[in-house]
Structures are given as C-alpha cells and as structure tokens.
Structure 1
Amino acid sequence: MASSAFEDVVEDFEFLDDWEDRYRMVIDMGKDMPPLDEALKVPATKVDGCASQVWLHPTIDGGVFRFDGDSDAMIVRGLIALLHRLYNGLTLAEVLKVDARAELGRLGLHDHLSAQRSNGLRAMIERIRLLASEAA
C-alpha cells in the first residue's frame, strides 16, 4: 500500500524510457523539497547508516504520519522526496504495513543505486518504521 502521491511517481516513471531520465527526476524531486530548518538538524533527527548526512523530522497529528527531511547529497534528497511521497499522510498503522522494498522496486531503484545508497535508503526506511511504531 502506497500513498496516491507515490502512485503518481510510479506513473511518471513508466513514461521515462531510460534510467538517466528517472535519475534526473529523482534529483529534481529532491530539489523541489523545502530545506529542513537548521534547528531540526540535530543528533535526534540524524539517520545513522547513511554515507551522506541525512535528517528526518516526523510529525504525527491525529494518528497521521508526516515527516520532513534533508540531506547534503542531491540524490539522497531525491530519495527522501520519494519516501515522503510513499509515507506522508498515511496513518501510523498504514506506515507499518507498507512494503517499501516492493514499492520502491516498482521504480527499479534496486538495480540502479550503489550499495552505499541502498544501505542508506534502507536506514531511512527503518527509521521511518521505528518512528511510526514508537508513536503507534
């Protein structure tokens, strides 16, 4: 189960023929994200296990999960934007039901990310699941 915003990304990816175009789209999604407030870039929001610096700041309102994030690497900002579209607006229970690996697999990411980026993406997903689990 993914959010409708993520389904829109899946549809957009289907129209792009090569990975270079998809890669550019992911980077552009990251560029379009507002930067995370510097005051929120603290150890408590930093994601360990990423080669780049990554911060995820969750907000939960009425059982609905939302988060903002940032990174010092453009492709990672794009990956955060993808996760934002995958999870934002879901209930805590829905967040925990999302099979992120399968959903992101629909985009072909696993075949085109370096091992370091894949590990970082996995760390971000684990952090999101942990935050939702703790809040549930």
Structure 2
Amino acid sequence: MTIDQIQNDIVEEFSDVEDWMDRYGMIIDLGNNLPEINEAYKTPDHLIEGCQSRVWLNAELTPDGRVHYTADSDAIIVKGIISLLIQVLDNQTPDDILKADLHFIDDIGLSEHLSPTRSNGLLAMVKQMRLYALAFQAKQQMK
C-alpha cells in the first residue's frame, strides 16, 4: 500500500469517532499494539531529541530497499503517536518517505489536540524518521 492509501485509511478510521477522549483511546490502543523494539536499541543513541518523553527509534534498510522502523516510548499517548507514524512510513522506500506529505496528522485533528510539547515531539519524531530515510537514500545512491 502507498503512504497516501495508508493515511486515507487512518483518516477514515478516525472519522468514525467524534469524541477526542475516544480518539485518544484509539491512539493508546495503537501504542499498546506496537511491536516491541529490541532492548539493544533502547540506548541514548536511539532517543529522539526534542521529545519531552523518552522515545527510542530504530530504522533498518531491508534487502529490497525499504525502511523498517521500530520504536518505543515511556508515555502511552506518545507511544500511540509513534505507532501511527510507523503504520504510515514503515516498509516504504526512502524516496517515498522523503516525498510524503503526512496530511493525516492534520486530517484527524491530531495537531490541534496535542499540547505544545507533544506537538514539538511529534515534529521531532517525523524529522528523525525522515533523517533515517535520507541516510538510507544517500547510501543507496552511493552503490
């Protein structure tokens, strides 16, 4: 599935739920279902700068040239947010990740319902995911 198709599915899923407490519940559930990150990646090197809570992110380039992300957080809402980002960007090519307009964040109203510190954290998560993609893109171009 393309990044846009995944985003559209998320927007549709969230559009069925009007109440923001219920939407937060959905986000928390996503975080609870996030696959475990390898404990070896829970290091300062994998912490995302700019997040108030601790968020660890790892990315690997698969043999077929796609980026695979794993993450964890010590905050339940933040864990759900990184889970949403992974749902959208995981298993995509570095080029597609770098070109992606992550419109679902605004479309589901997430940006307007986050505190300023969480919004900064969201931007930091997106930035780190794109930095990994950029590094992998450069590595592919050097081959």
Q: In the aligned structure 1, how far is the partner of 2:26 from the partner of 2:56?
A: 21
Q: Could you say which residue in structure 1 is the equivalent of 2:26?
A: 25
- 1:59 corresponds to: 60
RMSD: 1.4
1:26-76 C-alpha deviation (Å, 9 max, x unpaired)? 010000112222211112211010000001110111221110100000000
Does residue 92 (structure 1) correspond to residue 94 (structure 2)? The answer is yes
When normalised by structure 1's length, the TM-score is 0.93
Task: Show the counterpart of 2:42.
Answer: 41
Distance in 1 of aligned mates of 2:29 and 2:89: 19
- Compute the displacement of 1:12 (Å): 0.8
> Which residue number in structure 1 is paired with residue 83 of structure 2?
81
Deviation at 1:3, TM superposition (A): 5.1
Correspondence for 1:68 = 70
Q: 8 Å contact 1:3–1:85 — kept in the other structure?
A: no
Q: CA deviation at 1:4?
A: 3.7
Give the corresponding residue for 2:140: none
Task: Give the alignment of 1:3-14 within 5 angstroms.
Answer: 4-14=5-15
Q: Which residue of 1 aligns with 2:121?
A: 120
Give the superposition deviation at 1:2: 2.2
Counterpart contact for 1:3–1:90, Cα < 8 Å: no
**For residues 14 and 70 of structure 1, what CA distance do their matches in structure 2 show?**
26
Are the aligned partners of 1:6 and 1:82 in contact in 2 as well (CA < 8 Å)?
no
- Does the 8 Å contact 2:10/2:104 carry over to 1? no
Equivalent pairs, count: 135
- Give runs of aligned pairs for residues 123-134 of structure 1, distance below 5 A: 123-134=124-135
Task: Report the Cα distance in structure 2 between the residues aligned to 1:13 and 1:103, rounded to whole angstroms.
Answer: 10
